[in-house]
Amino acid sequence: MTARLYLRPIAFADSPQSEHGEAVRLGGSMVWASRFAIVVRETGKVVSRERVAVPDLPRALAGLPEALAAQGEAQWAALRKVHAPLACGSRTIRLDQPQIMGILNVTPDSFSDGGQFLDDPDAAHAHGAAMLEAGAAIVDVGGESTRPGAAAVWEGDELSRVVPVVERLAAMGAAISIDTRRPAVMEAALAAGAHIINDVSALRHDPRSLEFVAASDAPVILMHAPGEGEDLHADARYDDVVLDVFDWLADRRDAAIAAGIAPERILLDPGIGFGKSIASNLALMNALPLFHALGQPLLVGASRKRMIGALSHEAPAHRRVGGSLALAIKALDAGVHMLRVHDVFETVQALHVWRGLRDAALTDFAQLPA
């Protein structure tokens, strides 16, 4: 295995002026980093780790072997990249501030709300409208459960579940993503008014998906999951879960670009809860700032996940709001651009308070003498 470098933010500032300008804005977000770890690994093992402050980073990277220096320069540029907004029909989703994606499962067996909106377009429409009113920027419609052990869904059933809901949400002007692995469902949902493709297999489930998404011009979310076939949770083996997921997402990003998908249309998701232990999920949540080095907007979906129950006396899915908010704030503090959540009102409220604190921090030093 060729040596690989990782540029991980490890110290953060409430504002750049608090570090006298010696901090950088991560991924065009509202989060600033002042110190980084330059990590190198070979054959799956970390062989070096150097801590470097922002002013010293160019020198530190220049002193590395040529191949590693090139990786470092690319990641340093990616960490500071400002991402363009997403165009979703008449709506524009800005990525210079966090956004909320509301979950609308039209399934019989999703782990949290399975069956609640199945075969009832009126109820699904009302729930989608309520999430938009509560502050969701996007509604994510899914017709297939991807929980561990979920049964495979016939493509025709998935189409009949999602298309009527997408049509009704589109009629009210919503920005919509379609949560699917199948190109036929992607195509039908886009035709019905969806704008974004959210593929939990990262366009691996069907060999036609890459070509279809490239031709569609729709933004696409590529999520990490270890499984190759129907079971996305299978084959979960990691040397270092954080660095392995980073490398995997880099490879899928590159495959998507090679297939003709424009880089500005690609969002990345580390796949919290998919083929990962509690320890692995916690490690990924703690390492979220690293993923800005991939140069793409970041989405995290940790809402009501099993890890919350495992850490809180096995609380059932509908009683995991507090844990979901804790993980949401962790993601916001990492500069994640989009949160995929069940509890939109509560998460938006938490986001507004978080945003108020960030805005206040940017003015705290305004009255200090030069």
Could you give the CA distance from residue 334 to residue 33 in angstroms, rounded to a whole number?
Answer: 10
Q: Using CA atoms of 350, 351, 354, 356 in order, give the dihedral in degrees to the nearest 10.
A: -110
Whether 340 is catalytic: yes
Residue 240: count other Cβ atoms within 10 Å of its Cβ: 18
Per annotation, catalytic residue among 161, 168, 265, 340: 340
Catalytic residue among 181, 305, 320, 358: 305
Q: Annotated catalytic, 330?
A: no
- Residues with a known catalytic role: 305, 340
